[in-house]
Chain A
Amino acid sequence: GAVVSQHPSRVICKSGTSVKIECRSLDFQATTMFWYRQFPKQSLMLMATSNEGSKATYEQGVEKDKFLINHASLTLSTLTVTSAHPEDSSFYICSAEQGGNTEAFFGQGTRLTVV
């Protein structure tokens, strides 16, 4: 299957700072990328959908000014958690698809800890 690389795999940051997470499709062009958040022992919750070259679509209850998503190229999407707080600590996972109802491939995930 196609490879999606997510970086960093782990990050610890201080409360009030911002953190950027990258999601790259290594061997295909990703028209659409998805960002999920997973709290311990829970399922994945979709945060937002990003299409290359356009604004991301956020799910209800997700603050777009806090979770900034940029999908500037067909192989890279970034999620920036701004002014992070301890309650933002979670496992963030991206997925990417080639577009048009094809299978999505998942990155390795990023464990964010805000202290």
Chain B
Amino acid sequence: ELKVEQNPLFLSMQEGKNYTIYCNYSTTSDRLYWYRQDPGKSLESLFVLLSNGAVKQEGRLMASLDTKARLSTLHITAAVHDLSATYFCAVMDSGGSNYKLTFGKGTLLTVNP
């Protein structure tokens, strides 16, 4: 059974600081996703990572994937208040007949002025 561990679960940081969220998974997977969720809202897709060594950047967020280590990171650069949200990684489980996603527990990010 695929397990996805995300840490930290809670992250409070000051504006302008850098930090990294980690996502470890237990079995081989074809792809990994990062999502953002604002309170009361659904998921917003941030990144899709498809191969070992993949790195994608959008604004102050950068995601990377190391399939050998089964590790993905979401790096936040010079945080701003607007980045406050819950961030989820999700790993595609292709072991069965359907390609379903297993989610991490999420990281609640609070960026303080």
Q: Which residues of B contact A106 (CB under 8 A)?
A: 42-43, 45
CB pair A101 B92 closer than 8 Å: yes
Q: Within the assembled complex, what's the spacing in Å between the Cα atoms of A28 and B45?
A: 18
Which of A6, A42, A45, A51 has a CB less than 8 Å from the CB of B98? Answer: A51
Shortest Cβ distance from B29 into chain A, in angstroms? Answer: 11
Q: Closest residue to A1 on the B side, CB-wise?
A: B45
Shortest Cβ distance from A3 into chain B, in angstroms? Answer: 12
Shortest Cβ distance from B109 into chain A, in angstroms? Answer: 14
Instruction: Give the A-binding residues of B (Cβ under 8 A).
Output: 30-31, 33, 40-43, 45, 48, 88, 92, 94, 98-106, 108
CB pair B92 A43 closer than 8 Å: no
Q: How many residues of A contact B (CB 8 A)?
A: 26
A103 at interface by CB-CB < 8 Å: yes
Q: Within the assembled complex, what's the spacing in Å between the Cα atoms of A100 and B97?
A: 10
A44 and B103 contact, Cβ closer than 8 Å, known pairs A32-B98, A101-B94: yes
Instruction: Give the B-binding residues of A (Cβ under 8 A).
Output: 1, 6, 32, 34, 41-46, 49, 51, 57, 93, 95, 97, 100-101, 103-109, 111
Shortest Cβ distance from A71 into chain B, in angstroms? Answer: 12
Shortest Cβ distance from A45 into chain B, in angstroms? Answer: 8
Q: Which residues of B contact A49 (CB under 8 A)?
A: 98, 100
Q: Within the assembled complex, what's the spacing in Å between the Cα atoms of A93 and B43?
A: 9
Q: Within the assembled complex, what's the spacing in Å between the Cα atoms of A45 and B62?
A: 26
CB pair A43 B98 closer than 8 Å: no
CB pair A103 B48 closer than 8 Å: yes
